[in-house]
Structure 1
């Protein structure tokens, strides 16, 4: 996994009051509690754990703690270093913008692991405030490998800085280059800027190299010299295996020495360890990684803030591996935070609480609880969103997937799979079969598949086993877009819930606040309420199967629709060449430019943006949202016609001139002295089929157009321009950005640039084959008009306003122009997700032999997220973009994953439905999964707030509906509630809830498991910190519900 380090600095003292004003009241209380304990005059703690329930903004709490710590130290410390550590690049990318305290802090990317911090320490010297962030990966446990080439270049120069006469090209260079080409490594050496090295670090590192000894008593520098000596005389020959292995051991020791020297010079004042549970090995007293971490955590007078919703196992069952994990985990965490003596006190008080509960002594239990609670509050806090709710599950409702049924072919498939497993002497395949269809065809690295691939293809027993009945995943069917049975009861239910519902017809999730009555597919009530599905499975084969089967079925239906509408959209066969984008910039044989209407679609016309703004129309009409569609369009058309009256009509005696469609918006803007059509960014990247010179020619023609040179206006010009004013790519983007920046001047150059970027991203999105297949109509008109009509039907303006509102909260920092640019950048990341593919094998048993033919299926409507813990940059980038796309209104509509490594990631922007493909064994894991979509202003929250407040006249009048609606809802906050209302626990004015799906067959064990989980989910807090938790809950039985007031409460 890629590591990332960011160094930021600001010369001015942060405004603490301004920083805290951005927090909710419960977050401010947590910040105050942490600060009070960190700097208590008589009983301070240097380590504090914020264990707020998932989705309550622990990162913002950390920001508040940073601000107060800086302010506290400002007058007494010459240099303040704040260190933020998280477990992976995706969490860093998500959280770093939220942690930047103060205005105008520049963010620069530097080293990518702890050892590489050494090259950046020089930049920290002489600054009042430094913010250092890295995702360590293996940085705390450097190990004995040669590391990355950048580290070896750095080591070479650090050694050369002390032993300049000795460290020279030749054997030293061959020693450190590893497997890198010698010429390339030499360039790396030559390009390194040694002025970045801190003199203090060079000295510390040299001292370590001269004092660290191996078991034979050799110093590290002596061992290094011997290792380098072995490379003399080798020339270009490969080093013997033993020599090379020793080299990497020595480099590993050098890297460890460098990491220690870097930590020593970092001088942290506040260390923030995010997703603390991922670093549990650092709590132990043993191991090099723990030692290195302790040097960082315990440096000087540094404070350590730990963030985690699940810092220890909240509840464990006897049947779980190491069933008493909770108690040991809890005690170890308390010991790490408070030390042995205080941990012993907590253990004693919790034992007294347990004894009192068994004895039925409520008074004794209450006293013991109070003592343990007071001690724990000194070192930790926890806020839960529904702690004061009458029903702890709050917004959660159970839903059922349709069509979860077992078919005869499913049973035949299991029998075939079972026979094959017996022949291959593999494990019982029942769980595989329950998790996914076409297991043998789709699974990858499982043992049974590997054995099948290695087995004798002519073994009669294997041929017979594979020849039995059951559904097959056949390439012939896929290639010809024939129906493929979902092949599994759960898959049948998921396809029924998503594809069969008609969601395949949607390019984006319907807006939570439509400004007018929607049309086309968006008019269907069941689709207006559709939300994305987040699927969690215990088996890695299931996410792959879901991505493949659900996406294929969606594409198959798109192919049928496209074939009936137009051949231009492709989709004749699955393996046919993918069609080029129809929103293209082509040049005809006679030199005419054929993509000029696309320029009109992209151009963020100020005049049309103002004319077609549904909020201003609503205010003028005095009507509540959503508006009557026909009345809305009539008023916009009246506005457009009034604008057109201000420009020359063209040559009336000529034939209708279709150039008017794209030229009108440009000409209308010139009346406002806006001349930017040829001076905009238009996106971040070209598509493969794009020719930049052709696009430039189109823009140049647009800039030169004059009304006098145009022919007669087409009869439908005002109608087309009305649609363009309502749903044009650039026009909608400009309005959305204008709302986000509270800008009444839509001609602002920065806004126009960002709007053109977003428009370009939409153009690329509408050029995807699947989208073209959906959008192309049977009216045989140009595709750009089909795209425009689709945008009007689906109220693209509402969609962009809602999405930009969410993006603004994630990226807003500093100048408005920078925020607009970042919004357009994030928008492009989501809209530009490329189709990925999965491999499957068409397995046949014909003519006495088994054959396996490899093919690939596309995934787009449904996508697999993650493959365990990704360790390479490409996977990280792909996963990050997949998450960005899922957190956007665009595809994928289904995201399937195992639960591994998903802690701390948000999936709530456009999803409030969790599908538990396999139920977790633990009630806490159930809450964790559902907490991925029950977060701040998530999809269900926004839908309820919109249902309750969209009709208020203030919403349209404000020009920025989303902040206005949340302000109105907050003003109606019920007495006794806190700032969790309405952004986490909204007024339930609409039908949106957190939907829990557990696809299971009648009489299956999932039914019993779910009942057990739901019984336990409300009671496990009573047994926090107790051994054998399930025994105590079983003993208490129904009384547990009445003893909730004896639970330990850590809320500030």
Structure 2
């Protein structure tokens, strides 16, 4: 072995994380019948990204002595470009400094020089971490792509087809697409030409040229350029042909870029968000392109996901979306191991396990059989069930306050669904109050909209008028409205009915300073966040909208009797950042939220509290041992001398102490539902901000 040892990067892992890393590495590189694809499905919060970093470390350790690998390329794929840029940094291991890139697959030619020139000093080979998102690298929905992509295609075609003179100009006109002017697109091309220096990457250029010759796209391009000729603008027919040509060229460019990338490990984070790319049966362009990446050479593929497959599919899920959790599971299993015999064994083992559970017989042996079949391609870690008296306490709330109107609402909802030919199950009613008010995205909502648009029947009119809906008059008058659901009533009783709307944020669990009202009493009661899980998209909107309205209503007190824009505008605002005559005005509230890094570096309230032996209050900051001190002595203010420390008796209030940004409270986010309240800062400004 040469210089790099993964042990240093694995030292900080928990035992279960290290065990997962070792198991994945064993299956990737050591076993006599290894796998090229593996799923880590650890429960949320158990550190899948840490495990992925460990797998990266073990991959580098294994490949550093593999003479068939000249350069190690790690590809990270997730659904969000910003998250991709953040997480690519987390995959960096201590023993190998890697080149980081977050780009499009089609624009990889801009970075091939950097990939080839990556630092070799740590493990003896270049190491590259490259991040992609499916929407920009695999999906071809936006057929014409970016101007820089089309510019690169032009340079490749120019080189392959020998474009000069009017042929070059007609090619530029054809590939201009959405760029505003011909001159602007030519500037993009020349800028990219200068950036690339010696031209596009030779591997990409050769692979691209072979692809367009073999597919006939080169001939199609030549014919289209000839038809465009000296035209300054494209006709509708020429435009459509140009869009199709660009789409095809982008696909060929993406495939050629994979050859240049040479992936050794591909990490798919939260893969269920783009599981369409995993299908070995799909013949879509995006799936074929993704399969080319996953199947490149001896590349390993690591799937990450915390979202478990459900053991069954509800009727309404199948009717609304055509989903089948069972079939989704087996599609993933086929991606992990495309072996019909093994898949048949898994099906039989799951059936045996289901039968054991349903019959009440012991299921331990059946579960062990399933585990042994799946362990070679996947693993999952879950939090242990804690004993009574430990950190987790399970509470079961008795939902005894189901109202008669709630039950009538469900009966009417079912009748309306039957009349419209839709579905409304008991789960809809249990999970979302006033379902008809929050039915966007459901087939029942779509069919109701269509019926209203076409002129509803008398039966539909009667059912809608008697269905459980929010009282529009009460909302307009800012009066209380019933929550319409036993679960939501219980949630409201634990939150807004306890005065949570008065909290600008949750009180810190370890405050720097002594808490005062309204934070102190909630902290003493052990306030904690509420996290709501639901399978239904109507649920978060309904909860947020109705709790927001109630919080807004409670905070307004007597100030608002009408729920309108004009009435809200008349209420004085204290936390707005306003401009008057184009100049900032009333910006003092900004100090409540603006980070103060200089103060944070100069004095740490937590260190002061520790030195004083207790948490500091405003009054105690003037006493010996509780003043703020910088590393170089006492931190003084530029105010008149009434105290020597920033925390002196009269020189500072609580807002002047730097505070670390704590966790925010359960918020009442704005809702798009007309008439529902929003938790605006001007209403929250009535709260008192306690120190700490």
Question: What does residue 92 of structure 1 align with?
Answer: 84
Question: What does residue 134 of structure 2 align with?
Answer: 136
Is residue 2:624 matched to residue 1:639?
Answer: yes
Indicate how the Cα distance of structure 1 residues 351 and 504 shifts in structure 2: closer, same or farther if over 3 A, else same.
closer
Q: Secondary structure in 2 aligned to 1:29?
A: helix
Indicate how the Cα distance of structure 1 residues 491 and 51 shifts in structure 2: closer, same or farther if over 3 A, else same.
closer
Question: What does residue 28 of structure 2 align with?
Answer: 38
Deviation per CA, 1:55-106, whole angstroms, max 9, x where unpaired? 3222211101111211222244431111112244475366434322227958
8 Å contact kept, 2:76–2:268: yes
- Distance in 2, matches of 1:118 and 1:364, equals 55
- Distance in 1, matches of 2:467 and 2:367, equals 62
- Distance in 2, matches of 1:411 and 1:314, equals 28
Q: CA deviation at 1:512?
A: 2.0
- Distance in 1, matches of 2:573 and 2:521, equals 31
Is residue 2:265 matched to residue 1:270?
Answer: yes
Q: CA deviation at 1:504?
A: 0.5
Question: What does residue 688 of structure 2 align with?
Answer: none
Q: CA deviation at 1:433?
A: 5.7
Indicate how the Cα distance of structure 1 residues 43 and 334 shifts in structure 2: closer, same or farther if over 3 A, else same.
same
Question: What does residue 280 of structure 2 align with?
Answer: 284
Q: CA deviation at 1:220?
A: 0.8
Corresponding residue to 1:485 among 482, 506, 512: 482
Q: CA deviation at 1:249?
A: 2.6
Is residue 2:30 matched to residue 1:29?
Answer: no
- Distance in 1, matches of 2:648 and 2:241, equals 78
Question: What does residue 163 of structure 1 align with?
Answer: 161
8 Å contact kept, 1:510–1:529: no
Indicate how the Cα distance of structure 1 residues 578 and 89 shifts in structure 2: closer, same or farther if over 3 A, else same.
farther
Question: What does residue 201 of structure 2 align with?
Answer: 198
Q: CA deviation at 1:263?
A: 0.8
Is residue 2:548 matched to residue 1:728?
Answer: no
Q: Secondary structure in 2 aligned to 1:207?
A: helix
Q: Secondary structure in 1 aligned to 2:172?
A: helix
Question: What does residue 746 of structure 1 align with?
Answer: none
Tell me the TM-score normalised to structure 1 length: 0.52
Corresponding residue to 1:18 among 8, 13, 33: 8
Is residue 2:65 matched to residue 1:245?
Answer: no
Q: Secondary structure in 1 aligned to 2:672?
A: strand
Q: Secondary structure in 1 aligned to 2:550?
A: helix
Question: What does residue 83 of structure 1 align with?
Answer: 75
Q: CA deviation at 1:600?
A: 11
Question: What does residue 107 of structure 2 align with?
Answer: 116
Deviation per CA, 1:457-508, whole angstroms, max 9, x where unpaired? 9x9888777666976443x654554333334444433333321121101111
8 Å contact kept, 1:503–1:530: no
Determine which structure has greater relative contact order: mean sequence separation of CA pairs < 8 Å that are 6+ residues apart, divided by chain length: 1
8 Å contact kept, 1:19–1:64: yes
Q: CA deviation at 1:40?
A: 1.6
Q: CA deviation at 1:207?
A: 1.8
8 Å contact kept, 1:51–1:382: yes
Indicate how the Cα distance of structure 1 residues 19 and 254 shifts in structure 2: closer, same or farther if over 3 A, else same.
same
Residues 376-395 of structure 1: matches in 2 within 5 Å?
Answer: 376-386=374-384, 395=392
Q: Secondary structure in 2 aligned to 1:211?
A: helix
Question: What does residue 858 of structure 1 align with?
Answer: 678
8 Å contact kept, 1:34–1:48: yes
Question: What does residue 697 of structure 1 align with?
Answer: none
Indicate how the Cα distance of structure 1 residues 229 and 572 shifts in structure 2: closer, same or farther if over 3 A, else same.
closer
Deviation per CA, 1:216-235, whole angstroms, max 9, x where unpaired? xxx11111222334434653
Indicate how the Cα distance of structure 1 residues 411 and 274 shifts in structure 2: closer, same or farther if over 3 A, else same.
closer
Is residue 2:285 matched to residue 1:451?
Answer: no
Question: What does residue 501 of structure 2 align with?
Answer: 504
Of 321-330 and 509-518, deviating more is: 321-330
- Distance in 1, matches of 2:673 and 2:12, equals 48
Deviation per CA, 1:497-555, whole angstroms, max 9, x where unpaired? 32112110111112223456532022225874232333344443333232222112111
8 Å contact kept, 1:416–1:469: yes
- Distance in 2, matches of 1:639 and 1:131, equals 52
- Distance in 2, matches of 1:464 and 1:339, equals 55
Deviation per CA, 1:177-221, whole angstroms, max 9, x where unpaired? 334423554444444345433122122212211111xxxxxx111
Deviation per CA, 1:433-462, whole angstroms, max 9, x where unpaired? 6554455555445314523652459x9888
- Distance in 2, matches of 1:356 and 1:479, equals 55
- Distance in 1, matches of 2:470 and 2:314, equals 40
Is residue 2:211 matched to residue 1:208?
Answer: yes
Indicate how the Cα distance of structure 1 residues 40 and 150 shifts in structure 2: closer, same or farther if over 3 A, else same.
same
Q: Secondary structure in 2 aligned to 1:315?
A: coil
Indicate how the Cα distance of structure 1 residues 397 and 563 shifts in structure 2: closer, same or farther if over 3 A, else same.
same
Q: Would you say how many aligned residue pairs link Structure 1 and Structure 2?
A: 650
Q: CA deviation at 1:386?
A: 2.2
Gaps in structure 1 of 5+ consecutive residues: 1-11, 213-218, 565-569, 644-664, 676-701, 737-799, 804-829, 841-854, 862-889, 892-1052
Q: Secondary structure in 2 aligned to 1:512?
A: coil
8 Å contact kept, 2:60–2:72: yes
Q: CA deviation at 1:578?
A: 7.4
8 Å contact kept, 1:637–1:719: yes
8 Å contact kept, 2:574–2:589: no
Is residue 2:304 matched to residue 1:307?
Answer: yes
Question: What does residue 65 of structure 1 align with?
Answer: 55
Indicate how the Cα distance of structure 1 residues 559 and 169 shifts in structure 2: closer, same or farther if over 3 A, else same.
farther
Q: CA deviation at 1:597?
A: 10
Q: CA deviation at 1:257?
A: 0.9
8 Å contact kept, 1:346–1:376: no
8 Å contact kept, 1:486–1:492: yes
Residues 590-609 of structure 1: matches in 2 within 5 Å?
Answer: none
Gaps in structure 2 of 5+ consecutive residues: 119-125, 686-692
8 Å contact kept, 2:503–2:518: yes
Q: Secondary structure in 2 aligned to 1:531?
A: coil
8 Å contact kept, 1:121–1:198: yes
Corresponding residue to 1:576 among 544, 551, 569: 569
Q: Secondary structure in 1 aligned to 2:94?
A: coil
- Distance in 2, matches of 1:599 and 1:332, equals 53
C-alpha RMSD of the superposition:
5.2
Q: CA deviation at 1:356?
A: 12
Q: CA deviation at 1:26?
A: 1.3
Deviation per CA, 1:107-128, whole angstroms, max 9, x where unpaired? 76642x3323343333212321
Question: What does residue 122 of structure 2 align with?
Answer: none
